């Protein structure tokens, strides 16, 4: 699971120029996440993205757009469903 906190200034600039939604759609189309949640965390626009990552070496390519496009603070935490835990 990836938590992506977008700094207020960066998010506001992208909302004002109309690129935030476009960039988010592009990112979702490219990484094909299982789920995407948009919320708020400590006053910042925050996105949670649930990804199925086959191996750790794939993470940089999945995360780089978040840093480059949004100057985001990115946190990665492994997660699994209850069904996966029982396997």
pLDDT of residue 83 exceeding 90, the answer is no
- Residue 71: pLDDT over 90: yes
Q: Which pLDDT score is estimated for 86?
A: 75
Domain with 27 in it: 2-85
C-alpha distance from residue 2 to each of 54, 58, 61, 86 (Å): 15, 13, 13, 23
Q: Where are the beta strands (DSSP E) in the chain?
A: 2-6, 35-41, 44-50, 73-76
Over the stretch 47-66, which tens digit does the pLDDT of each residue have? 999 998 888 899 999 999 99
The CATH number that applies at residue 34 is 3.30.70
pLDDT digits (tens, 9 = 90+) for 11-41: 999 999 999 999 999 999 999 999 999 999 9
Whether pLDDT at 87 is above 90: no
How many domains, in total, are found in the chain?
1
pLDDT score for 51: 93
């Amino acid at each position: 699971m990836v938590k992506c906190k977008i700094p207020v200034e960066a998010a506001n600039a992208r909302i004002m120029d109309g690129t935030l939604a476009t960039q988010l759609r592009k990112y979702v189309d490219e990484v094909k996440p299982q789920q995407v949640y948009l919320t708020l965390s400590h006053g910042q626009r925050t996105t949670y993205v649930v990804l199925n990552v086959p191996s750790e070496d794939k993470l940089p390519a999945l995360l780089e757009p978040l840093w480059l496009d949004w100057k985001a603070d990115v946190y990665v935490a492994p997660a699994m469903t209850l069904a996966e835990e029982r396997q």
